[in-house]
Amino acid sequence: MTDCTVMRIDKQSMLDVLHREHAFSDMFVAHLLTRNIRYEEDLVDQLFNSSEKRLARILLLLAHFGKEGKPEGAIPKISQEALAEMVGTTRSRVNFFMNKFRKLGFVDYQTGDELQVHSSLLNVVLND
């Protein structure tokens, strides 16, 4: 959740660019496929996993675990209300699980506004 700028592109202009710029077209299609895969993963997660596992998955995604390159591990300040919306549960449940994750050493609250996520949190997602 960071500041961003949004630009609207009309349909015909986008079609023209997609037909004319093949490298851009390839990149755009790859982005759409990645986004659709993420939607499918989110739906499966919502249907079959507990709120604890969903929170662990969200934290790992926010810390870029499983992405190309080195995971960041640290997540900028995010409210428990925002996490609850992402997970599909209540803030009190998020608070309960965050305290549990902290006690088990899966996450650390850093000085400042960062939350440190450890790779050991993967065990919550991968194991029952």
* pLDDT of amino acid 128: 58
Domain boundaries, the chain: 10-48, 50-128
Q: Contact at 8 Å (CB) between 118 and 73?
A: yes
* pLDDT of amino acid 112: 65
pLDDT (average), residues 2-13: 91
- Identify the burial level of 55 via C-beta atoms within 10 angstroms of its C-beta, where 0-12 means exposed, 13-18 middle and 19 or more buried: buried
What CA–CA distances, in Å, run from 127 to 35, 49, 62, 92, 120? 26, 12, 20, 24, 11
pLDDT (average), residues 98-107: 93
* pLDDT of amino acid 27: 96
pLDDT (average), residues 111-116: 76
3-state percent breakdown (helix, strand, coil) of the chain, nearest 5: 60, 5, 35
Topology given in CATH for the domain delimited by 50-128 = Arc Repressor Mutant, subunit A (1.10.10)
pLDDT (average), residues 27-51: 91
